[in-house]
Structure 1
Amino acid sequence: MAFVNGKKEGTARRLKKMKKVALIFGTRPEAVKMAPVYLALKNSPIRPVVIATAQHREMLDQVLSLFGIEADFDLNIMQERQSLAGLTSRLISKLEEIYSENVFDATLVQGDTTSTFAGALVSFYHKIPVGHVEAGLRTENIYDPFPEEINRRLNGVISSFHYPPTENAKNNLLKEGVPENKLLVTGNTVIDALLWVTENRSVLTSSFREALGVEEDEYILVTMHRRENWGEPMRQVMKAIKDILKEFPKMKVVFPVHLNPAVREVVYPELEKHDRIVLTDPLDYLPFVSLMEKARIILTDSGGIQEEAPALGKPTLVLRKTTERPEAIKAGTAKLVGTDRDFVFNETVKLLRDSDEYRRMANAKNPFGDGTASKRILKHLCENL
């Protein structure tokens, strides 16, 4: 048998015939949710090609390492205090270079980030079908969350394949005119990722929590980073956190602080001197899962945590006015509390004191899937490519 570039001719022919799917992501939440899809594709007839836009450089690298993912292309797009317009233009320009020199059979993007929209748009320019993982989430307010809501809607227009995580998300897309044969309800891939971590990286010991000086059920886990909360809304929440700790002298707070200066310039002056508040840099996914597992409750403006926390039985108070995940609110696993200082304080105190309400939230059924979303996406791609 002849050899082609050092490979047997038959092998080379099979490799040439393999479908190639570009996976575009750049933030840690995107990477966590795309990792199970990558792992499913890697063990299939479809070759995944990872394009890391990397606007969350350090946090992204943590996830890539955990899941054993190597980027085929790394755009390293991050700039300090970058504007949305500047980020978008750089993404489109660099992605265009890749798509002009490579042939892909499809593109997969995830969620609601600027890299998601830019990736879908460049793929469309090259007439390559786009699959949108976690499609159909809506708040019906284009400025909240900003710019995530409009990114999702624009992707809904561009995408050929839509992978909504829930029936509610599917119905949103149907109302917008997406044909039902282009939709597949999959569940959310973040549950796949969470289960993969607990099964394959089972060293979820207490060592990390011990290093931070916290024990099970004695701390509140806090995350906050969204653009619409920068400035005074975030400052109000920081003050509410101090009020909560004054009310509960034995309670602590662990807060992994986003690297964005707009976040850190509010959080640190407000909280760094408090002796029961632990401020850390953003954590690897593994220790963060460990912290979620043993927290009493979670305060967050993150979307992904609203999906992960129910799988761990952790009541979650959402520091936003709206959520594109109403399933969590309806199921009772999460509650919208906004950013008003008094309201955040009152709702947190009520949850910590009312054992019946706490049990209702902790035991509510997770509405976001069974951990097989990535397998459903793979099957759909195999059938449609």
Structure 2
Amino acid sequence: MRRRLINSTLAVVLVVIAVFGLSLVVVETRTIQSGAQESVASEAVRLVGTVESRLSSGEKITPDVLSEQITANRYAEIKVPGKPPIEIGERPSDEVIESHADGERGESVTVQESRSTVSAEIGRTLLVILAVALLAVAAAVILAVRQARRLTAPLTDLAETAERLGSGDPRPRHRRYGVQELDRVADVLDASAERIARMLTAERRLAADASHQLRTPLTALSMRLEEITVTHDPETVKEEATIALGQVDRLSDVVQRLLTNSRDPRTGSAVAFDLDEIVKQQIEEWRPAYRSAGRAVVRSGTEDLRAVGTPGAVAQVLATLIENSLMHGAGTVALRTRVTGNQAVVEVSDAGPGVPPDLGSRVFERTVSGRNSTGLGLAVARDLAEADGGRLELLQQYPPVFALFLAREAEHSEG
């Protein structure tokens, strides 16, 4: 493209020089020729006047006197009646420019100038025009190269930006070039880079959330299957298998919720549900794991609470809190339900070391962890709680107390 820009600019300049240069050559040639003719005619008239004046005053007419009246390199012939012709200068041997003038006393003057002299002057003028044309071409080349670089460098840069986007580097460059069309392309590429970056971030977040949200149900299911493998009581096997099937259903619910959140992370499926049932379910699922660790998980507080939210999401939040207490806490884990205003609250606490002071305000941030975990659990749990209008908070760092706030079901009075 750079070569095309240079060639097109040079073509335009050459056409302009050709049109105006040839016109200037023609005009200058005619001007020089007509000027030489007028100069020769003027000298002929001047010589006739000088001769006539000297004849009137009776003065002698000599070549020395008349040579002062004629330009060098010109030839003049003066004829006076009754006297021999007087010649001044050397008669040209080639083509000449000639002018003839007659006086009142019968005298005549002929002035000649060689055309080669005029041609030489025309040649010098043409050289000047040619030099100016060459300077114009050189200037055009320099300007064309600079302009080509100014236009092609941004295009090369934009091509590199597009290539980076295609290779998976979505960082916008925010470069502008002072050319409206190129700046428009740069704006579009930067906007595309930002959209791609958001899409990649959403995909990575979905993958991280999926791995974490699926891990907790799979862990609970694995523990239930382990209970089945170590028992020989058919009734116990049947009971544990029934619970495991329920966990499989909840696992399917988690997968469905992940797919829904991948389309719209703020989309919830809030319904009125029995909060006691969810709490009881989680205690039953995690009791074997706590029993194996020599610990206990208990519940207390207000009963017969109905809340509004997504049952699967609420179960996932509680499972995350219970699992964190199992992994990082100590002693008995207590689930306490209570009412505050128009909200139902589930508190999860244990007797462990709690949340480090430096992480208290950042414990719900992604990748923030004080004990070599992924740092996703609490962040995902808060997102799940907020998806249906609830919230998850750290009420106390030591001993640790986490609280899940949910909207209560509106009570209908009978009239």
Work out which of the two has the higher radius of gyration on C-alpha atoms and give 1 or 2.
2
Band of TM-score, shorter chain: under 0.3
> TM-score w.r.t. structure 2 length?
0.19
Q: Identify, as 1 or 2, the structure richer in helix.
A: 2
